[in-house]
Amino acid sequence: MNTNYKNIAKGGKAVYGGTVGVCMLDTQFPRIHGDIANARTWSVPVHYRVVPGATPKAAVFDGGKEILDGFIDAAKQLVKMGADGITTNCGFLSLFQEKMAEVVNVPVATSS
């Protein structure tokens, strides 16, 4: 029996090709072409994660403290899915830049 393991692929990600990961507020309104939450806006594949309960109001009041953990979890999930970079869909989430960047090993840009 030949146990030549040189040609076996190891490591990797769950999904390849999802270059951008977008952590989303929990909102619903038309997302026309050009909007960050319209996948056709992007010239590369995108993964999205909506953070349940992360309303615009929650993002603004008290520095978004009640939704920060949800965005950290979403960023981790997106990286696990194969995202090579993380962003968010709201400029108010720029307050989360440092904390999100600390927990993932890919670039993070939290302002849309």
Q: Is residue 6 part of a domain?
A: no
| Domain housing 48 | 20-109
Q: Which of these, 21, 7, 6, lies nearest to 51 by C-alpha position?
A: 21
The number of distinct structural domains making up the chain is 1
**Least confident residue range of 32-36, 38-42, 60-64, 104-108:** 60-64
Q: Is residue 3 part of a domain?
A: no
Question: Residue 76 is part of a domain; what is its CATH number?
Answer: 3.40.50.1860
pLDDT of residue 4: 66
Whether 14 has a pLDDT exceeding 60, the answer reads yes
Q: Is residue 100 part of a domain?
A: yes
Cα separation of 86 and 104, whole Å?
9
Q: Is residue 9 part of a domain?
A: no
**Segment 32-59, tens digit of pLDDT:** 999 999 999 999 999 999 999 999 999 9
Whether 62 has a pLDDT exceeding 70, the answer reads yes
pLDDT of residue 1: 56
High-pLDDT (> 90) share of the chain, %:
78
Q: Is residue 78 part of a domain?
A: yes
pLDDT of residue 39: 95
